[in-house]
Amino acid sequence: MDSTTMRATTAGRARRRPKTYGEDRVCGADRCETRLSRYNRNQFCFRHAPARFPRMRGEFTEEYLAKHS
Ligand SMILES: [Zn+2]
């Protein structure tokens, strides 16, 4: 086997890096200094990220009202 060819092939393959969003970023919220993961594309830490309530809609079912009223 030709070792020169092998080396060239290996070097030619671009190494894929996962997409990152910069290092040393901190949360965008006031006075929050939580470091953000470079893989976190949000501007805020998990506590300050815009809250989403995907389950909220299911919360006020008839069953819920029956239990809590
Ligand atoms: Zn934060």
pLDDT digits (tens, 9 = 90+) for 28-55: 999 999 999 888 888 999 889 877 655 5
CA angle 24, 30, 33 (to 5 degrees): 35
pLDDT at 29: 93
**CA distances (Å), origin 45, targets 30, 51, 61:** 11, 11, 32
What does DSSP assign to residue 2? -
Distance 21 CA to ligand 1 centre (A): 17
Top-confidence residue, 34 or 8: 34
Distance 38 CA to ligand 1 centre (A): 15
Alpha helix segments (H runs only) across the chain: 3-12, 56-59, 62-68
Distance 26 CA to ligand 1 centre (A): 8
Distance 19 CA to ligand 1 centre (A): 22
Distance 40 CA to ligand 1 centre (A): 12
